[in-house]
């Protein structure tokens, strides 16, 4: 069955950028809707850090969000820089401010899972003080076509953007990759090694499974990740380095004699850099360099790293080599994944009519070493207001 509907703003992608933008729309009472391809919310893994400025934004949203961050997260006051040369691992620098130090922001950088961050923003959207607290956030819906009627795009009251949506059946919206096993929860199902990074945290309308819906919108906001479908529909290209790094990531409860495991650490070695981020509930997020890809060689097959090569055991082995001579092991792995990341920015952030806009990873991508992904995405969505 085919149906047609109208909305002032259609947001494609219910990740940090899409939800931050949706907060403004709900707050101002604007008729809007968020759709996302994935059929389940983010429970584990994904982004894991909030910078001071981002927490200031959450604080501005009200609803006690900054207090919830401080209560649930791990506050990171320091970052230790270690070097591993000739088998000797030594700390040679500490950056950051001491606990209690008055800085430029009243908030310290914190680490907490993306699922909790998105939960905070959704709770703020649903707050009764919003003029549109029931703004729909729906999952299991994929956007398939996007067309812009340029003859009416200049009319502020027109609905020039037409998007065809398909309500997915359960199996298609919930791929088996990512299932929990003895090796922990694999995040490869939502990794961009799969060729897509559609985040999800929303309500699924099961009674509409298989339905085709055409949405007429005044504006469309593409918040659908580094391999953005919306960006491809408006012909916007990414510019930047042709080098891409594949990073392994895992959330574990470490068993180690490494003295800095509960402080933020960056270990530099000839094999690359490893990042250790202390997390809530005794977890540590560990990023290790896995592989490098040259996307400027015009070999399409070589440009996408074979995800079947990635295993938790290989990620663990790389970490153990970089921790040497200290011991590193774990019995609990809550989540693990791998990402192919290049430092790039879109040539522009909207189409020629200004009716389709991009935000978050859809318009800029970063190395996980600098922790900018979710933070800049939230700030992009916030700036839409």
Active-site residue, from 36, 166, 368, 380: 368
Average pLDDT over residues 178-185: 48
- pLDDT tops 50 at residue 61: yes
SS3 content of the chain, % helix, strand, coil (to 5): 25, 35, 35
pTM of the complete model? 0.84
| Residue 30 to residue 17: CA distance in whole angstroms | 17
Q: Please state the separation of Cα 382 from the chain's center in Å.
A: 15
Would you state the pLDDT for residue 122?
94
- pLDDT tops 50 at residue 181: no
Question: How do residues 318-357 score in pLDDT, each as one tens digit?
Answer: 999 999 999 999 999 999 998 877 789 999 999 999 999 9
Average pLDDT over residues 41-68: 87
Average pLDDT over residues 54-73: 91
Respond yes or no: is residue 120 known to be catalytic: no
Find residue 148's DSSP bridge partners: 161
Q: Please state the separation of Cα 304 from the chain's center in Å.
A: 19
| % residues pLDDT > 70 (the chain) | 83
Query: Which is it for strands 161-167 and 141-148: parallel, antiparallel or unpaired?
Result: antiparallel
Respond yes or no: is residue 133 known to be catalytic: no
Q: How many CB atoms lie within 10 A of CB 362?
A: 32
- pLDDT tops 70 at residue 296: no
Question: How do residues 118-146 score in pLDDT, each as one tens digit?
Answer: 999 999 999 999 999 999 999 999 999 99
Would you state the pLDDT for residue 103?
67
Q: How many CB atoms lie within 10 A of CB 375?
A: 23
| % residues pLDDT > 90 (the chain) | 54
Please check whether residue 256 is in contact with residue 327, taking contact to mean a CB–CB distance below 8 angstroms: yes
In the chain, the domains with their CATH numbers are 2-383 (3.50.50.60)
- pLDDT tops 60 at residue 191: no
Would you state the pLDDT for residue 327?
95
Would you state the pLDDT for residue 46?
78
Respond yes or no: is residue 59 known to be catalytic: no
Would you state the pLDDT for residue 342?
78
How confident is residue 298, by pLDDT bands cut at 50, 70 and 90? Answer: very low
Q: Which helix (H) or strand (E) holds 120?
A: helix 114-125
Please check whether residue 120 is in contact with residue 15, taking contact to mean a CB–CB distance below 8 angstroms: no
Active-site residue, from 120, 287, 290, 339: 287
Active-site residue, from 36, 48, 80, 251: 48
- pLDDT tops 50 at residue 108: yes
- Take residue 96 and report the two structure tokens written for it: 């950051």
Average pLDDT over residues 47-76: 89
Average per-residue pLDDT for the chain:
84
Active-site residue, from 279, 285, 344, 355: 279
Would you state the pLDDT for residue 304?
58
Q: How far apart are the first and last CA of the chain?
A: 36
Q: Which range has the worst mean pLDDT, 47-51, 151-155, 250-254?
A: 47-51
Please give the residue that has the higher pLDDT: either 371 or 151: 151
Respond yes or no: is residue 254 known to be catalytic: no
Question: How do residues 247-286 score in pLDDT, each as one tens digit?
Answer: 899 999 999 999 989 888 999 887 778 999 998 889 999 9
Among 374, 281, 252, smallest CA distance to 71 is for: 281
């Amino acid at each position: 069955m085919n149906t047609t509907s109208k909305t002032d703003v259609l947001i494609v992608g219910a990740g940090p950028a899409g939800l931050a933008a949706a907060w403004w729309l709900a707050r101002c009472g604007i008729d809007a809707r968020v759709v996302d391809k994935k059929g389940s919310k983010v429970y584990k893994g994904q982004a894991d850090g909030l910078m001071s400025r981002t927490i200031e934004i959450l604080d501005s949203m009200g609803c006690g969000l900054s207090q919830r961050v401080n209560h649930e997260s791990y506050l990171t006051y320091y970052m230790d820089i270690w070097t591993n040369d000739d088998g000797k691992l030594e700390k040679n620098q500490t950056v950051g401010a001491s606990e209690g130090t008055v800085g430029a922001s009243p908030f310290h950088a914190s680490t907490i899972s993306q699922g909790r961050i998105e939960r905070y923003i959704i709770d703020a959207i649903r707050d009764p003080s919003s003029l549109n607290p029931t703004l729909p956030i729906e999952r299991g819906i994929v956007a398939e076509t996007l067309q812009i009627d340029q003859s009416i795009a200049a009319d502020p009251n027109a609905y020039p953007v037409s998007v065809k949506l398909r309500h997915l059946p359960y199996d298609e919206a919930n791929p088996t990759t990512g299932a929990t096993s003895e090796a922990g929860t694999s995040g490869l199902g939502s990794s961009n090694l799969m060729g897509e990074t559609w985040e999800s945290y929303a309500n699924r309308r099961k009674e509409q499974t298989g339905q085709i819906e055409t949405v007429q919108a005044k504006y469309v906001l593409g918040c659908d990740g580094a391999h953005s479908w919306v960006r491809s529909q408006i012909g916007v290209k990414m510019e930047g380095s042709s080098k891409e790094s594949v990073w392994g990531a895992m959330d574990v409860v470490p068993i180690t004699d490494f003295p800095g495991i509960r402080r933020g650490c960056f270990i530099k070695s000839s094999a690359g850099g490893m990042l250790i981020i202390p997390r809530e509930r005794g977890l540590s997020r560990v990023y290790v360099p896995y592989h490098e890809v040259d996307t400027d060689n015009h070999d399409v097959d070589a440009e996408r790293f074979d995800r079947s090569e990635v295993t938790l055991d290989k990620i663990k082995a790389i970490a153990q080599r970089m921790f040497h001579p200290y011991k590193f092991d774990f019995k609990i792995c809550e989540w693990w994944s791998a990402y192919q990341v290049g430092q790039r920015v879109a040539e522009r952030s909207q189409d020629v009519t200004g009716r389709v806009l991009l935000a978050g990873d859809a318009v800029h991508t970063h190395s996980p070493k600098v922790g900018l992904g979710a933070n800049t995405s939230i700030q992009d969505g916030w700036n839409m207001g």
